[in-house]
Amino acid sequence: MRWIVIGALALEMAAMTWLVAKAQDRGLPDPALTPGVVVDVDKATLCQVGYAASVRHYDREIRNQVFASYGLTAVDRRDYELDHLVPLSLAGGDEPRNMWPQSRRSEPFNAEVKDTLEDVLHHEVCAGRMPLAEAQEAIRTDWIAAYAKYVGGAPRRFVARSAEER
């Protein structure tokens, strides 16, 4: 009986590892480490210019903690953005359970692309065209799917072309 329980636990751990790896392969955070946390902020405050900067207070210790939790201790940190899953501009919490090291280099989805989605959702919420809770849930659940829905398709990179090609 003991070996069956141990075997079942090993199988469950393997399944969880596979799911986390698949999420991270797609540019999503590990939901066990970064479930996404929101804070209670009224829309008028949230939509003021400078709100996000006024509530961003994490320090080097938190940054190190988040990177270590993802096993990223010997990496060039310039390749990553310590990102808030639910952005501060959508009332995301400024705490480790809402942060993960998001790649700046992965293609096509990376930190820069997610920033575009964050801007679009913030604009929609502040314009009154989308409830805040809907925007938070969309980005928390699967920001890549939310990008496709609210921004449209896969991101395209700027490619310089000559006048004859246009």
Q: What is the pLDDT along the chain (166 residues), one digit of tens a residue?
A: 555 545 444 444 443 333 333 444 558 999 999 999 999 999 999 999 999 999 999 889 999 999 999 999 889 989 999 999 999 999 999 999 999 999 999 989 999 999 999 999 999 999 999 999 999 999 999 999 999 999 997 786 554 444 454 4
Residue 162 lies in a domain: no
Residue 23 lies in a domain: no
Residue 155 has a pLDDT of 83
Residue 67 lies in a domain: yes
Residue 143 lies in a domain: yes
Residue 88 lies in a domain: yes
Residue 44 lies in a domain: yes
Residue 4 lies in a domain: no
Q: Note down the domain range covering 64.
A: 32-155
Instruction: Please give the full DSSP string across 55-84, using - where no structure is assigned.
Output: H----HHHHHHHHHHTT-SSS-GGGEEEEE
Q: How many domains does the chain have?
A: 1
Residue 1 lies in a domain: no
Distance CA 7, CA 3 (A): 6
Geometric angle at alpha carbon 107, from 126 and 95, rounded to 5°: 50
Global pTM reads 0.78
